[in-house]
Amino acid sequence: MQSEYVLLCSPYRYSSVFANSVNRQFIEKELMSVVMPGVNIMTRGLLRTMLETNYGITDYSSLKEEIDKLEDGRYHALEDVSSFIDGIGTPDVKDFYLSLNSLTGSQLIKGFDDCRIIDVLTKSYATRLITKEEFEELFTKQTERIKNSYQTWEQYLASCVMGKLLQYVPSSETITSVEEYVVDVYSFCIAPTNVFSYGTFWANHELANLTAFLENFLPEEIVKELKSRQNRVDYKGEIPGLTAPSNDLLASLEGTSIDPTFIDYERYQYLSELADYVFWTPLIENNLEWMIAEKNLQEQDTILLPKEYASLYSARVFWYHYPSYKELHEEHIFAMFEGTLSLNLIFTEEAVYTFKKKLFGKPALVRIPWEQVELSSSLNLWMEESKIHFGKKTISNVSPVLSEIGLNSKAIDDLDSQERKALENEWQQKMNQFLEGIPQRIREFKGK
């Protein structure tokens, strides 16, 4: 799920990649996706901790309460910013705040609150604390209000900076420092690609005045260093982060039997984009990850993908198996299902491959075109089993991460059989729709 309004919390999403020219597809994925790239079962808990530690957000009710506080300005250390500025005795400091204040229009420090509202909203949805319907209700209300409160991106971002400077809260592991926040806003200002030009709700995305102001505010050595980083890499229209394996993935291969040469560098970007479009993003957007990806990755059946969408382990083992199936490389392998002892299934762009055991030697590959493929799911909450079936064969059997939908073993025990069955049927139907849609999404991807 994407929205241009997610750009409103971009000060919390800056990465060094934006120091280079990037394409629209990358901006959409990094700055317009409601669910941030990299959010999975492994990282979701960290985001939940941050939301609870910083704001006390644990569910829809507490989120709504915190948004109301931010909208009303109840987190402000200063009741009257204008009076505070008037009372500054040091001329240089007073001129600094007067200049910044002039860029904010009538909004003063309100932008910082609005930035945080969109940030906590998207993170609450990404961490499954609220439903899609609850997210859309709050998101629509807040973005409509914010859109009508500012006239330009420069006014909004200046207000964000002013609010952060006057936050008076020390940085911590879960709170961005003032320097990092301001540096990231400035880095967006001088970036080769103006990402805010993709936000159409404010036509004016010129940032010259804010850029000049921040250059005078930041230490000269920091400005010089940030400018020196610009356009070091030419991505040639490709999507940064997908063009080559990450340093984390390569580092994870050290000390294993997996040689970096196992990775198909020529096809890496295509396979990663294919796996993301066909499998991973729809899985995340439909809140189905908990049924197929588990925490004990090396102890249970595992979905293997070319990039570490599910985990580093998932990507690492994908490339361990990949060289063994050179005859399928032209068909673009984008996912594999690994059982406890061996591979169960391989997904390519053209077909699904299963295995026929032989008395001696390597099992033979059996090709099934996508139009003949039957994939289905089954869920047993009592036994805590989530299975994916290929015809009558079980290709994935994991212990579902019940906490991802707000349940635990005790909550399951408290359900009567009818309630439990209804819940199982609801999630099975969602997973079946996801699985049935794979061939169509492959066709869409090939036609892009």
Mean pLDDT over the full length of the chain: 85
**From the CB of residue 87, how many other CB atoms can be counted at a distance below 10 Å?**
9
What pLDDT score was predicted for residue 236? 62
Give yes or no for residue 128 having a pLDDT over 60: yes
At 169, the pLDDT band (50, 70, 90 cuts) reads low
What would the two tokens of residue 275 be? 């796996």
* Residues 180-197, mean pLDDT to the nearest whole number: 91
Number of H helices, E strands in the chain: 18, 8
The predicted-structure confidence for 298-321, as pLDDT tens digits, reads as follows: 545 578 999 988 888 889 999 999
Range scoring the smallest mean pLDDT among 61-70, 169-178, 233-242, 419-428? 233-242
The predicted-structure confidence for 362-388, as pLDDT tens digits, reads as follows: 788 999 999 999 999 999 988 888 899
What pLDDT score was predicted for residue 332? 96
Quickly tell me which residue has 């009303």 as its tokens.
Answer: 72
* Residues 167-186, mean pLDDT to the nearest whole number: 78
Report the distance separating Cα 246 and Cα 307, nearest Å: 8
Report the distance separating Cα 162 and Cα 156, nearest Å: 10
At 395, the pLDDT band (50, 70, 90 cuts) reads confident
Give yes or no for residue 237 having a pLDDT over 70: no
With left for phi above 0 and alpha for psi between -120 and 50, is residue 324 left, alpha or beta? alpha
What pLDDT score was predicted for residue 416? 84
Q: Which residue has the higher pLDDT, 395 or 439?
A: 439
pTM exceeds 0.85 for this model:
no
Report the distance separating Cα 290 and Cα 279, nearest Å: 14
The answer to whether the beta carbons of residues 446 and 332 sit under 8 Å apart is no
Q: How far is CA 40 from the centre of its chain?
A: 8
What pLDDT score was predicted for residue 412? 80
Report the distance separating Cα 209 and Cα 103, nearest Å: 8
Q: Which residue has the higher pLDDT, 86 or 291?
A: 291
What pLDDT score was predicted for residue 256? 84
Helices (H), 335-416: 409-414
With left for phi above 0 and alpha for psi between -120 and 50, is residue 343 left, alpha or beta? beta
Give yes or no for residue 80 having a pLDDT over 70: no
Number of residues that this document lists for the chain: 448
Q: What are phi and psi of 380, to 5 degrees?
A: -125, 100
What pLDDT score was predicted for residue 107? 83
Give yes or no for residue 397 having a pLDDT over 90: no
At 76, the pLDDT band (50, 70, 90 cuts) reads low
What are the angstrom distances between the C-alpha of 71 and each of 66, 109, 110, 117? 9, 11, 8, 8
Range scoring the smallest mean pLDDT among 55-59, 136-140, 237-241, 387-391? 237-241
At 326, the pLDDT band (50, 70, 90 cuts) reads very high
The answer to whether the beta carbons of residues 196 and 7 sit under 8 Å apart is yes
* Residues 391-400, mean pLDDT to the nearest whole number: 86
What are the angstrom distances between the C-alpha of 128 and each of 139, 143, 223, 335? 15, 20, 39, 25
Give yes or no for residue 37 having a pLDDT over 80: no
Letter string b/e over residues 374-408, b meaning 16 or more CB atoms within 10 A of that residue's CB: ebebebebeeeebbbbbeeebbbbbebbbbbeebe
Report the distance separating Cα 268 and Cα 270, nearest Å: 6
CA distance from start to end of the chain: 18
The answer to whether the beta carbons of residues 118 and 142 sit under 8 Å apart is yes
Give yes or no for residue 239 having a pLDDT over 80: no
